[in-house]
Amino acid sequence: MSLSELSGDASEFPKKGADREQILADIAELRTGDAKWRSGKTFSLIYNTADHDLEKFLEEVTLLFAHENALNPFAFPSHAKMEREVVNFTLSLLHGSDGAGTMTSGGTESIMMAVKTARDHARDALGIAEPQIITATTAHPAFAKAAHYLDIEHIRTPIGADFRADVAAMEQAITDRTALLVGSAINYPYGTIDPIPAIAGLAASKGILCHVDGCLGGWMLPFWERLGEEVDPWDFRVDGVTSISADVHKYGYALKGASTVLYRDPEMVKKQYFLLLDWEGGIYGSPAAAGARPAAPGAVAWATIRYLGEEGYLRLAGRVRDATRRIQAGIAEIDGIEVTGTPAMSVFEFRASDDSVDISAVGDQMHDRGWKVDRQPTGLHLMLSPVHAEVADTFLQDLAEAVKNHGESRGEVASYGGIG
């Protein structure tokens, strides 16, 4: 029986082992419904360099570490060294070379760790038993998730007309239990950089911590700046910034499972570690949330950075900038839609600029043409990769037609991540 004939998911445990050819054929068939990301028609989820040599190379490195376990750095010192170097490389990129940090499985885990560190710092050093954190409403849901998991209060403050955090609103929200202020560089929905110097200065004046979420911007803004673009200050050069999260598996172009969480004060990372000294199984220590963890992502992150170097990242950033400029200029020429606010780099929303355009119906039309643009409550969302420089013109042609003849919306719900 072919898998496509199965109406539902298998539920019975397989009695016998299957032939590997059969399993591979089943996988091929199962994947026919997956997003065709190589075409450049997907926007988030995959950061597509369109560099096949790099892809092949990263697959080779993945195989080298496919079986290893990063749980124990003493068993695989090669891997531990690679992870330390990825952290060092990222610290140096973000002007925090005197700091310290760890790798994690992704932005969500990095944010969770930064929030845990802030919670424990508040309890140990500030005497706050029930700490709270403050973010703008544009901050990534990982902060709400972290607050939920760690059982601390999360206050969300509004953004201003410029789609950046409203610092006055943050200041008003501060109480004697506030442990951490958060800014994003950049945020996901609008791609803007929050006023980090003001947020970090406010945190410093209250003696509390300031985390900058550089998950998305952390591996692009430094190169954007080197390309000569104006980038508002956001990294460790800003006084009062105490920690930063930056995902190597986003614009660092590594494969999924690679992020960093970095602290200005190298002592601070110790608050992140978990240690159990008196376990029946011996001393148990781990730097972040996972126990046993795959080794390939760290090795691949290290190999990607070595392979591309600053030159490679600049070349790719140039392509992303080219795609961004062309697509934003094209959107400006289409009547009835506009880019929302002033995005800082290559991630942005576009929305209807007059009542004749139903942006959700435009999204339906684009989906029918194979473009997996993301939907937000107020518009459609693009996250551009190097591959998009190759498809910018066809994208804009399809978009112009979709806006002209969009018809009725199918009422799709805006969603991100795991729930669609």
Contact footprint for ligand PLP (CB under 6 A): 106-108, 140, 142, 184, 187-188, 213, 215-216, 247, 259
Q: How far is the CB of 324 from ligand PLP (least distance, A)?
A: 16
The residue among 342 and 394 lying less far from ligand PLP, judged by its C-beta, is 342
Cα distances from 46 to residues 36, 50, 373, 415, in angstroms, run 11, 11, 12, 17
φ, ψ at 188 (rounded to 5°): -70, -50
Provide CB contacts within 8 A for 48, sequence distance 6+: 37, 38, 40, 42, 385, 386, 387, 388
Q: Give the shortest CB-247-to-ligand PLP separation in angstroms.
A: 5
Cβ-based neighbour number of residue 39 at 10 Å: 14
Give dist(CA 98, CA 301) in Å, integer: 21
Contacts of 322 (CB under 8 A, 6+ apart): 389, 392
Minimum distance from residue 101 beta carbon to ligand PLP (Å): 16
In the complex, the smallest distance separating the C-beta of residue 215 from ligand PLP, rounded to whole angstroms, is 4
Q: How far is the CB of 411 from ligand PLP (least distance, A)?
A: 26
The nearest distance, CB 234 to ligand PLP, in angstroms, is 12
Q: How far is the CB of 186 from ligand PLP (least distance, A)?
A: 7
Nearer of residues 208 and 383 to ligand PLP, judged by Cβ? 383
Closest CB to ligand PLP among 211 and 406? 211
Q: Which of 119, 115, 190 is CA-nearest to residue 343? A: 190
Between helix 388-404 and helix 296-333 the angle, nearest 10°, is 40
State the minimum distance, in angstroms, from the CB of residue 304 to ligand PLP. Answer: 16
Alpha carbon distance 269, 116 (integer Å): 11
How far apart CA 107 and CA 211 sit, in angstroms, is 13
**DSSP 8-state symbol, 356:** T
Q: Which is nearer to ligand PLP, 76 or 348 (CB)?
A: 348
Q: What is the nearest approach in angstroms of ligand PLP to the Cβ of residue 6?
A: 31
Nearer to ligand PLP, 132 or 192 (CB): 192
* C-alpha torsion 196→201→202→208, nearest 10: 100
Residue nearest to ligand PLP (CB): 107
Q: Cβ of residue 277: shortest distance to ligand PLP, in angstroms?
A: 31
Please state, as a whole number, how many other Cβ atoms lie within 10 Å of the Cβ of residue 109: 22
Q: Between residues 102 and 365, which has the closer beta carbon with respect to ligand PLP?
A: 102
For residues 65 and 188, which CB has a smaller minimum distance to ligand PLP in the complex?
188
Give me 386's structure tokens. Answer: 């190097």
CA dihedral 237→303→186→92, nearest 10 degrees, is 0
Cα 56 to Cα 250, 282, 294, 303, 410, distances in angstroms: 18, 40, 19, 12, 40
Residue closer to ligand PLP, measured from CB, 140 or 406: 140
Nearer CB in complex with ligand PLP: 106/240: 106
- Percentage helix, strand, coil for the chain under 3-state DSSP, each rounded to 5: 40, 15, 45
Q: Which is nearer to ligand PLP, 247 or 338 (CB)?
A: 247
